[in-house]
Amino acid sequence: MDDFPPTAKSRVKRLHQRAHYDRETIYRILDAGFVCHVGYGIDDHPYVTATSYWRDGDSIYWHGSSASRMLRTLKGGVPVCVNVSLIDGLVLARSGFHSSINYRSVMLFGKATALGDDQEKLRALEAFSERITPGRWDELRPPTAQELKATMVLVMPIEEAVAKERDGPPGDDEEDYTLDVWAGELPFHLTAGKPVPDPRLKPGIAEPAYLQDYELEGQPKGS
């Protein structure tokens, strides 16, 4: 797939060998995560808000209450930075200096707009639900007109983007490999536990299949 052209904002200057501008890498990481950190400014002060997101085609989406200060600010078309970072483990080198973290991350820069049409909003919310819990949307009662009105969905075209990744063992100074220090990686995984039924769950309702062996955050290549 094609590349996103590096820009003044997206070009990685340090450790540039870890940077990737191709759509395939960027979308692979975006599709493995589900929580992003959205950065924006209000009155010259930076804010960072964590929120769930999903990708559809060449856009990413996030949503929330129509009364949310974050969403009301962003729908005005202010510049926004979206960061998705998946932490894959500790890199334990023989020196503190070369110790590190294995990760997959994406930074997007752009401007968001709010979906205005109820049908568009419904389709977007269904896509989000199906991303998180495939098959559940049709089990839920449909959103009411009032709920749709109270929900804002933002969309941001992916145009300025960069991925940064690190994996594999530590890269120590050559002379440090003789030291008597354990070195290697400690991999991390985000795992789902056993579903916990609502105390008010109606008797006789089976646990849905999509919650069994649930895996949300994609694991890194090679693991």
Applying the rule CB under 8 A, the residues between 75 and 114 that interact with a copy of itself are: 79-83, 85, 87, 89-90, 92, 94-97, 99, 101, 103, 105, 107, 109
CB of 191 to a copy of itself, least distance (A): 5
Rule CB under 8 A: say whether 58 interacts with a copy of itself.
no
Site string for a copy of itself, 5-24 (x = CB under 8 A): ----x---xx----------
Q: How far is the CB of 116 from a copy of itself (least distance, A)?
A: 19
Smallest distance from a copy of itself to CB 18, Å: 13
Q: Total residues contacting a copy of itself (rule CB under 8 A)?
A: 92
How far is it, in rounded angstroms, from Cα 95 to Cα 89? 17
Residue 52 engages a copy of itself in binding (rule: CB under 8 A): yes
Query: Residue 64 and residue 197: Cα distance in Å, rounded?
Result: 25
Judge contact between 48 and 38, C-beta under 8 A. Answer: yes
CA–CA gap between residue 207 and residue 92 (Å, rounded): 40
CA 107/CA 177 separation, integer angstroms: 34
Alpha carbons 114 and 124: distance in angstroms, whole number:
11
Q: Site map for a copy of itself, 187-206, x if CB under 8 A?
A: xxxxxxxxxxxxxxxx--xx
Q: Which position among 5, 76, 120, 177 is part of the footprint of a copy of itself (CB under 8 A)?
A: 177
CB of 124 to a copy of itself, least distance (A): 11
We find the least distance from the C-beta atom of residue 200 to a copy of itself, in angstroms, to be 6
39 binds a copy of itself (CB under 8 A): yes
Query: CA 114, CA 120: separation in Å to the nearest integer?
Result: 10
Among candidate residues 121, 116, 99, 94, the one with its CA nearest the CA of residue 180 = 94
In angstroms, rounded to a whole number, what is the distance separating the alpha carbons of residues 7 and 58? 18
